Amino acid sequence: MILKIQTFFLAFVFFALLGFSDTNAQIRDQQLQTSQQFRLADRIIRVAEPGQLADTLNVWGDVNSPGRYLIPKSSTLPELISYSFGPSTIRDGQTNLDWSKVRVEVNISKYNPISNQESITNFEYRFNEPLPEGMRTFDLENNQVVSLQVKRRPSFVDYVRVIAPVLSSIATGFLIIDRL
């Protein structure tokens, strides 16, 4: 009797797992069909369709999805930034950021193996300004590295966060020495 129950239980678990994995495979197939952007490996993101001429670029820095991107040959720099889900937001807990003071710096570097030199093109703009001249028409090439950095001017709170621990340590030192 116990053997029959164990056999029935194992058969039930086996068929349940088989049906569960089949359902997951169907869901994954649906997602791949509806998504043009999918991952080939960890942090390698394909945007170009299979069989389409593509460039491979690295996107680093303050973006929401950094990694190595396979993009169509005719892609522009703003499209590449959009593929990586745009510049990341400032994560300092402030709810009232003045976005007009936040600026984005985009650096594109290309290594030339013949001259053993690295050439860098720089674009810098604020959120409330139009894109810099030449950024929309910049020709992206294979093996370029695109790095984004989101910058803002420090506020009074930032200075207090740096100075307060220093003053606290000095005051604690004086109190300890005074008690000795």
Determine the pLDDT at residue 92.
52
Determine the pLDDT at residue 170.
92
Determine the pLDDT at residue 27.
47
Q: For residue 80, give the 3-state DSSP assignment.
A: helix
pLDDT above 70 for 4: no
Determine the pLDDT at residue 123.
93
| Closest listed residue to residue 122, CA positions, set 37, 34, 31, 61 | 61
User: Averaged over 154-177, what is the pLDDT?
Assistant: 86
pLDDT tens for each residue of 90-136: 555 555 556 667 888 999 999 988 999 999 999 998 878 888 999 98
Cβ pair 124, 106 in contact under 8 A: yes
pLDDT above 70 for 50: yes
The CATH class of 38-158 is alpha beta
Hey, what long-range contacts does 33-38 have (CB within 8 A, 24 or more apart)?
A: 37/83
Other beta carbons less than 10 A from residue 36's beta carbon: 11
Give the residue, 49 or 61, on which the prediction is more confident.
Answer: 61
pLDDT tens for each residue of 18-37: 554 444 444 444 444 434 45
pLDDT above 50 for 43: yes
Report pTM.
0.61
Percentage of residues in the chain having pLDDT higher than 90: 14
Determine the pLDDT at residue 5.
61
Determine the pLDDT at residue 31.
44
pLDDT above 70 for 154: yes
Which stretch of 6-15, 17-26, 86-95, 132-141 has the lowest confidence by average pLDDT? 17-26
DSSP 43: T
Give residue limits of the domains in the chain.
Answer: 1-35, 38-158
Average pLDDT of the chain is 76
DSSP per-residue string spanning 90-152: P-SS-SS--GGG-EEEEEEEEEETTTTEEEEEEEEEETTSPPPTTTTT----TT-EEEEEEE-
